Structure 1
Amino acid sequence: MQSRHAEQHINMKYAIWLGIGSVIGGALGDFTFKQIYDALGDDLSVVVQMVLVIISLILSLYGSSGHIQPLYLAGTSVMFMSGLGLGWLATVLGIGGGPINIACFLVLLGLEIRPATIYSIITIFFSQGAKIIQALASKSIMNVDPLMIIVIIITALLGGWLGAIISNRITEKRILMLFNLVVVFVLILDAGNLIGYLV
């Protein structure tokens, strides 16, 4: 079991199939969200979305806690279905899906936190990329402030750069601890947003 962990690395074939599944999942998730929005309306769909995000964050914390025995699944079909499901879920919830993705990769594939994070980034890139392409095609993105887009891109690149530096200097255990702390912070923030929205 220990040697299996030591040999883990990013498999390019797996990454490609994960990306393909994420693109399809992202497109399906966008379609699903529009159906939910049309059926429930603005206010109720937002509440449902917030509640589902909170539930998913709680499940992510439990999945990364070590209380669930990893399944050590493998194969291109597993990666495709993972990308499909996670891409769909992240788009329906309206979030990148990082915490959910990482927890799933820890449990389903039995990965360490570093490769799980890389596969999560691949999933987010392709699933949200599909959403951006759809927004460009429908010209709905034209309503977004270009300055805000530039600021988001710059801060995302800066955050990724700082994260990579920190990740290379600390242990897997500390990375997992930081991950759980961030998830708890986001969970508290989302719970506060939900209460504020309802009140």
Structure 2
Amino acid sequence: MFVIYLLIGFLATFAGAMAGLSGGVILKPVLDFFGHYDLASIGVLSGACVLAMSSVSLISSNKQGQQVKRVQSFLIAIGSVIGGTLGKSIFNRIFTSVQLSQHVGWIQSSLLIVILVIIFIFIKYRQNFKTYQIKHPLVILMVGLTLGLAAAFLGIGGGPLNVAILSWLFSMDAKAAALNSIFIIFFAQLSGMLVVFFTTDVSDYHLTMLPVMIVGGITGGLLGSRLRIWLTVRHVELIFNTLIVGIIFLNAYNLLVYAGLAN
């Protein structure tokens, strides 16, 4: 089991670091699929692994001379921290409610499918959509808040949403969006983890696999970020779209499981 979860953490963050997906959007449905942990524990395992990945990925990218768009990404990151804190708080409140907790799984999977389909269509046919160059600080801050809120509630780290929004509202290509997405993810996940550890009882979570998943996240983040510099924009787009399609199908299966239509 330790080897399996080490590989899960590594492969998810390796692919996520290359495409700016954070790994969380991969980890969440994969951990759902295995069914070994409740949703609250999955959120912590995924969040900690993604935080480890984004940390080492940013350090590695900086050493390679890759730079984020500091003003835009920093404002989005601040908004993501606020939104991520609110989103995680909302999730914790819902999960502790007996009446609502049983519905969280299928709600998350359903929303993820819809969001990912929209993102796939946008990235695949981006040339047909008008893109923008938003510069107003307050608007950028609100964009970050919305991203952080959605990502924290869905437990996905925000990667695909970040990439799509950065491409749409800030006219970034796939490689630039991937790097800036990782920058935003770092702050959003950091705030989310702080909320969890300071507002809930950690002993309520099942975190046996946390150390090995963090090791996998660090390794995957390092290798993925180093490989990204050699990839073309087209390669990053191809990896992104392939992963999105796979995640959509995995979430569809998880939704059937939650609905009791699959074993």
Q: What TM-score comes out, normalization by structure 1 length?
A: 0.86
Counterpart for residue 214 of structure 2: 153
1:88-103 paired onto structure 2 within 5 Å: 88-103=149-164
Q: Once the 2 structures are TM-superposed, how far is the Cα of residue 106 of structure 1 from its aligned partner?
A: 0.8
* CA displacement 1:21-41 (0-9 Å, x = unmatched): 111001111233345554951
Determine the C-alpha separation between the residues in 1 that align with 2:164 and 2:201.
Answer: 32
Question: Is 50-59 or 146-155 further displaced after alignment?
Answer: 146-155
Using a 3 Å threshold, how does the CA distance of structure 1 residues 152 and 76 change in structure 2: closer, same or farther? farther
Q: Which residue of 2 aligns with 1:5?
A: none
Find the counterpart in structure 2 of residue 197 from structure 1: 258
Q: Provide the C-alpha distance between the structure 1 equivalents of 2:203 and 2:162, rounded to a whole number of angstroms.
A: 29
Structure 1 position 43 matched with structure 2 position 105: no
CA distance in 2, matches of 1:56, 1:141: 30
Task: Tell me the residue number matched to 2:165.
Answer: 104
SS of alignment partner, residue 71 of structure 1: coil
Unaligned runs of 5+ in 2: 1-66
Q: Is the 8 A contact 1:21 1:83 kept in 2?
A: yes
Q: 1:54 aligns with which of 96, 109, 113?
A: 113
Matching residue of 1:134: 195
| Counterpart-to-counterpart distance in 2, 1:148 and 1:68 | 42
Q: Write the distance in 2 (CA, Å) between the matches of 1:30 and 1:182.
A: 25
Residue of structure 1 in register with 2:76 after alignment: 18
SS in 1 for 2:149: helix
Matched, 1:80 2:141: yes
Matched, 1:70 2:131: yes
Q: Which moved more, 1:143-152 or 1:78-87?
A: 143-152
Q: Percent identity?
A: 29
- Show structure 1 runs of 5+ residues with no match: 1-8
Greater Cα shift, 177-186 or 139-148: 139-148
Report the AA paired with residue 10 of structure 1.
Answer: V
Offset at residue 89 of structure 1 (A): 0.5
Shift in alpha-carbon separation, 1:144–1:42, aligned structure 2, 3 A: closer
* Matching residue's letter, 1:60: I
Q: Counterpart in 2 of 1:4?
A: none
Do the aligned partners of residues 148 and 70 (structure 1) sit closer, same or farther apart at CA in structure 2, a change above 3 Å counting? Answer: same
1:122 aligns with 2:183: yes
State the SS of the aligned residue for 1:64: helix
Tell me the secondary structure at the aligned position of residue 102 of structure 2. helix
**Amino acid aligned to 1:186:** I
Between stretches 27-36 and 58-67, larger displacement belongs to 27-36
Aligned AA for 2:120?
L
Asked if the contact 1:17/1:79 (under 8 Å) is kept, the reply is yes
Paired with 1:40 and 1:71, the residues of 2 have a C-alpha distance of 42
- 3-state SS of paired residue (1:57): helix
1:144, distance to aligned residue in structure 2 (A): 3.9
1:110 deviation in Å? Answer: 0.7
The 1-side partners of 2:243 and 2:192 are apart by 25
| Structure-2 residue corresponding to 1:33 | 91
- Residue 71 of structure 2 aligns with an amino acid whose one-letter code is K
AA of the residue aligned to 1:26: G
Contact 1:87 1:127 in 2 (8 A): yes
- Offset from partner CA, 1:9-32 (integer Å, 9 cap, x none): 623222322221111001111233
In 1, distance between residues paired with 2:207 and 2:114?
33
